[in-house]
Structure 1
């Protein structure tokens, strides 16, 4: 850690109302967007642990609106958790306010910082260790959806506009194909055809939202296992973290992104697509947990559309990877030649396997209903 960065952390620590005397801090977690540190402060009662983060305002263009979203949602969650006899200090994020009363501070270089109470005796995992982890993941995100069912989603700012607007992503893809700025389109004609053959389905969810058949709700938009704190003692999902992409959206997208990532038998960037398939047992495990967590808060149409949510999120992600490949790999980090192309092909192979298993996916949802 350089002297300049160290100085900025010290400045931010002084601007946020942490309890006690700062003793030490070190990098924490595996996130790649924000700079995250675990802070230890000494008080008369002993040590207090916190998280301090520099918000990446190159990715999140409006940190003030982002923090307003998080403050509103976590305040709402604390009330619900307390009413249900839970522990709001461990079951939701708790913002440490700045000394001027705001939910964030700015250092002298204009960087945005925030603080959270550290959640003790809990761990995040980057990979599913066993089916129980995936079940707990589904249960946690389902409970998150239920707890926020009455939150006015329309009041939330879009931290990344059109993040899961599949038709908009498709138009960007078509523009990239037409421009062919890197001369790569001739290499991926099969993949381009795959995308365009499914164009009619791309707008189905947004059309249903427009028609009022799917409700707008609070969505997390990054529903991976590593955004859940698992209680070290019980092994149960405890708290949803990383709320930067909290936005108004569709529940089927949060469900679908979990399936895309967690029920694939291969890694997201597996070059050998013969290894790619949808694990129906894992799909069922997550669906059971998700519906149990939702506990009746989904509409019949939302339940019915869960498989389509999985397919659309996988399709959309593949479209984004292929778009980036056509545009010269400028958005997603790549570590080898054709990395984004491998990612796109993996997503499209998973979509194809979902199509083969469609009736089985629908049957899983029916028998998992609560």
Structure 2
């Protein structure tokens, strides 16, 4: 549904859908995917030539282009009825529910790790209200339900190999109903952090305001007025919520014995949680600047 809708919108704008959106190749039976006898699933797309992807932000321009691509994604799908989409991962960004899972992990303390992270636990307990902010606004009708990508990392954008301009959004398996501020926020969490996600030296962790400004510019320029004013004003909250949620998930997994996220060393998930906490703390220090930046783009 999404691919077909995007294709038609791109055609209306005079674009090239075979390069600017994923084109599914149907099976000989007319299905959108193939399932083998071992219950493995396969899907085929039309190959997009002369393109490349980046795992990390090598140039600020790449981050801007990524922002523009995901903003354009929002613009293209702004008239699509998001409620028609299947929720691929139920409650994926249901932060209040994630908070309840966190509380349960703290209470059970099955691996006797609570004593190692009391400060981190208290941090998330003190931010319960922040975690409920966005879904409360959605429930009140102050934020609209949108088609959201839910994995807005840099490497989910294909770039033209010659011009290095953003070309196409990929990895659409997590596309489902959601909030635009969450797509924006997760990109900031990943791309505007000055350190690695599992950095042990927390002095290296901060929010890059120049990168935040650059991403905001690209995202909102491409949205072209399709977002509500409340969405624009809530973009910083999106970044904060996504960082809080991710950090809380890391800490929950640490308390539950590292059963979900792959770890490479003892305490790996605790280190990850601490980087997200450090990033939230720096966002809070820079909150006024973040809010002022998005206000520049109000109609």
TM-score (norm 2): 0.99
Residue 348 (1) aligns with residue 267 (2): no
Note the 1:20-99 alignment, pairs <5 A. Answer: 72-99=1-28
Residue of structure 1 in register with 2:81 after alignment = 152
Residue of structure 1 in register with 2:71 after alignment = 142
Note the 1:188-203 alignment, pairs <5 A. Answer: 188-203=117-132
Shift of 1:108: 2.1
Structure number having the greater strand percentage: 1
| Contact kept? 2:229, 2:298, Cα under 8 Å | no
Structure number with greater Rg is 1
Residue deviations 1:133-153 (CA, integer Å, cap 9, x gap)? 000011000000000001110
Residue of structure 2 in register with 1:234 after alignment = 163
Give me the CA root mean square deviation.
Answer: 0.8
Structure number having the greater helix percentage: 2
Q: How many corresponding residue pairs?
A: 299
Gap regions ≥5 residues in structure 1 = 1-71
Shift of 1:368: 4.1
Residues of 2 paired with 1:201 and 1:236: CA distance?
Answer: 35
SS of residue matched to 2:158: strand
Residue 243 (1) aligns with residue 142 (2): no
**Deviation beyond 3 Å, 4+ runs, structure 1:** none
Residues of 2 paired with 1:295 and 1:223: CA distance?
Answer: 19
Residue 184 (1) aligns with residue 113 (2): yes
Shift of 1:328: 0.3
Residue deviations 1:214-250 (CA, integer Å, cap 9, x gap)? 0000000000000000011221100000001001000
TM-score (norm 1): 0.80
Residue deviations 1:67-123 (CA, integer Å, cap 9, x gap)? xxxxx0000000001111111111000101011111011112221111011110011
Residue 110 (1) aligns with residue 39 (2): yes
Gap regions ≥5 residues in structure 2 = none
Residue of structure 2 in register with 1:359 after alignment = 288
Residue of structure 2 in register with 1:264 after alignment = 193
Residues of 2 paired with 1:344 and 1:173: CA distance?
Answer: 12
Residues of 2 paired with 1:86 and 1:139: CA distance?
Answer: 15
Residues of 1 paired with 2:76 and 2:267: CA distance?
Answer: 42
Which structure's relative contact order is higher, taking Cα pairs within 8 Å and 6+ residues apart? 2
Residue of structure 2 in register with 1:169 after alignment = 98
